[in-house]
Chains A and B, each alone.
Chain A
Amino acid sequence: MRIELEKRPDVSKLYAFVSPLLALVLTLVFGAIMFAMLGKDPAEALDAFFVEPLLEVWSLHELAIKAAPLILIAVGLAVCYRSNNWNIGAEGQFTIGAITGSYLPIVFYDWHSPLVLPLMLILGALGGALFAAIPALLKAHFNTNEILTSLMLVYIAQLFLDWLIRGAWRDPKGFNFPVSRDFAPEAVLPAIWEESGRAHWAFIFAIIAAIGVWFMLRYTLKGFEIVVLGQSERAGRFAGFSSKKMIWFSFLFSGALAGLAGIAEVSGSIGHLQPAISPGYGFTAIIVAFLGRLNPLGIIASGLVLALTYLGGEAAQLSLGVSDKVTRVFQGLLLFFVLSCDTLIYYKIRIVWARLRGGAA
């Protein structure tokens, strides 16, 4: 048996829409098989994982909380990936954004002003952008592989946070636990609709960012530049676009969004700095970006789906006693299926069964 690909004359519009859905279905099927192998009732497990978290209002709020950083980061990454810049270090930019944004509420603890929160958000975005500027600088001027440099910086950012929290920024009244002071009330990102749950403004930022980037990609010259340079650097050069400037733009932009996501997460959900501030949002956002077909509106939907895997993982851990690692497996599987199903957009797939030639067996 052999699989043959035949290039489609045109990109299949139908499959461009169907393929992420197909990937979702395949992931669910494989998930069911996995649960069965773990000795759990697949129907019950999938229900606990993907349905129950959607049935209660407080739980929907939690979904928005987890989707917000994923969407924010993924929208930035989509700009990067579309322009063929491989920023893999969003997790690090998220961490640095959380640190720079926390500067005011931790160091200037006694400064009470309505200006604190906006300044924090700006500082967070700046921090993320500056941290992303490192791989951008290295790629633009030294031709260094941005995948590796941005990734190495993730480990450096996490160690830096660890040092801060165990050293200068440790809460003096924290019984030696590695946490910072709790943020003062004016440094906390407010809830959107406090009566029903915890969801805070980060989700609104995420939606605004997604719509803004969608508009940019679709209707502005900058968006055209991104797409052209991403498809062919040569063509972009003839059009007068600079791929060097695009490296800077895409990295600073995605870094800023990741940094904003970082400070929003710390300020809105956690309320202080601690050594672990992200369950891998920066890496999961890569899956979100691809599942959303690098389209900001698609990313809103895929961000919600991936947020559901986090939430479902927590729920399944409690109700079924399965490991929370199941979440990561689901996420990895999903990315695999997204990538394989994308083949259907560009190629027709034919399965060729081996033929016997001339009757000789």
Chain B
Amino acid sequence: MSIFEAILLTVITASTPLVIAALGELVAERSGVLNLGVEGMMIMGAVAAFAGAQMSGSPYVGIVCGIAAGALFSLLFAFLTLTLVANQVATGLALTLLGLGASGMLGEAYVSVPGIRLGEIVIPGLSDLPVIGHVLFRQDLIFYLSIALVVGVSWFLFRSRAGLKLRAIGDSHGSAHALGIQVIRTRYLAVMFGGACAGLAGAQLSLVYTPQWAENMSAGRGWITLALVVFASWRPWRVLAGGYLFGAVTILQLHAQAFGLGIPSQFLSMLPYAATIVVLIIISHNRRTTLINTPASLGKAFVPER
């Protein structure tokens, strides 16, 4: 395997969780719900996946545990913001704070326990192709899932009837309600899908990216995910592109440290966060295009008239 292939592989591993979590958040935001709790749901997914894999001995059970943990945890958010119409920004923050604390507590027994790495799945025929065979067709299940999710979410949102309804709710919950669409129920499902995706992204962190458990191991990725959704202007394929761009920046930073460019490592570590800010500036600069793309009822509470 050449150096080039090795770098591509690490970029993919770093990008996959960003893509998955951002897709989930994208669906939630398309339905009009701004869930700032991605970081919390992701870290809960990571600890649950690690614990599940340890107890069962199978990383696949771990994946299921991660998804379930993310989805269940997002229910807390959904109940508060959708049923009790609490402020979405504050509730999302609460979810993150609670997730970081609870995962630290639940994961305490697993610190420095050797993890179980999710194995690669070789696709016969394709995996023998030069370069891309190694890079794309000898990957783990979660990578394949991430690509399937991009296709699936894109199809769902823009080609299916349910997706049309979901977007309608995100753009005008009042009108959608008047048309008889179940606003609250759809939003519950969208938030839980977002939670499941964040949980899966967390599972990738503790089963693939670094197969172990460490406190706060999500390291702000959940927040970068939120920026990614804005960057992608709420479109699934752009999430894929943006996720890989961010993943590349993260890896670039690691390689630059290894080459010893004379730049202090701390400044290189700032790169993903700085890049997020720069990207946000570029995207938000044009007020008109952001307004067109943003779901119009994003972050607004809906209380049906009775």
Contact = CB atoms under 8 A, between A and B. Distances in A.
A347 B85 CA distance: 9
B24 to A, nearest CB: 17
Contacts of A327: 101
Contacts of B131: none
Contacts of A15: none
Nearest to A330: B101
A328 B96 CA distance: 11
Nearest to B91: A339
Given A149-B277, A339-B94, A346-B85, 6 more contacts: A3-B84, A7-B303, A88-B93, A160-B270, A162-B266, A340-B80
A335 B266 contact: no
B220 A147 contact: no
Contacts of B5: none
Given A159-B270, A329-B101, A332-B97, A147 B89 contact: yes
Interface string A41-67: 000000000000000000000000000
B306 A6 contact: yes
A332 B273 contact: no
A335 B98 contact: yes
Instruction: List the 9 shortest-distance A-B pairs measured between CB atoms, nearest first.
Output: A328-B101, A332-B98, A163-B266, A325-B104, A325-B105, A335-B94, A339-B86, A329-B101, A343-B84
B266 A329 contact: no
Given A4-B306, A335-B90, A159 B108 contact: no
Contacts of B220: 151-152, 155
Contact of B86 (A143, A144, A326, A340): A340
B97 A335 contact: yes
Contacts of B230: 145, 148
Contacts, number: 140
B281 A142 contact: yes
Interface in B265-285: 266-267, 269-270, 273-274, 276-277, 280-281, 284-285
A336 interface: yes
A329 B270 contact: no
A86 B84 CA distance: 21
Given A156-B274, A329-B101, A336-B76, A143 B269 contact: no
B41 to A, nearest CB: 13
B222 to A, nearest CB: 10
Nearest to B223: A151
Q: Which of B94, B230, B273, B287 has most A Cβ within 10 Å?
A: B94
B262 interface: no
A143 B80 contact: no
Chain A, interface size category, equals 35 or more
Contacts of A320: none
Contacts of B281: 138, 142, 144
A87 B125 CA distance: 53
B97 A147 contact: no
Contacts of A148: 223, 226-227, 230, 276-277, 280
A36 to B, nearest CB: 15
Contacts of A167: 264
A329 B103 CA distance: 9
A343 B85 contact: yes
Q: Which of A144, A166, A346 has most B Cβ within 10 Å?
A: A144
B202 interface: no
Interface string A1-27: 001111100000000000000000000
B101 A339 contact: no
9 contacts: A148-B223, A151-B223, A152-B223, A155-B270, A328-B105, A330-B101, A332-B100, A335-B90, A336-B76
Q: Which of A142, A162, A283 has most B Cβ within 10 Å?
A: A142
Given A156-B273, A325-B104, A287 B97 contact: yes
A232 interface: no
B36 interface: yes
A339 B97 CA distance: 14
B102 interface: yes
Contacts of B101: 325-332
Nearest to A4: B306
B258 to A, nearest CB: 18
Interface in B65-111: 76, 80, 83-87, 89-91, 93-95, 97-102, 104-105, 108
Interface in A189-245: none
B277 A153 contact: yes
A144 B270 contact: no
A286 B95 CA distance: 13
B10 interface: no
A143 B94 contact: no
A145 B224 CA distance: 12
A144 B284 contact: yes
Interface in A311-361: 323, 325-333, 335-336, 339-340, 342-343, 346-347, 349
Contact of A156 (B86, B95, B270): B270
A342 B97 CA distance: 19
Contacts of B306: 4, 6
Contacts of A162: 266
Interface in B202-257: 220, 223-224, 226-227, 230
A332 B94 contact: yes
Contacts of B76: 336
A79 B244 CA distance: 38
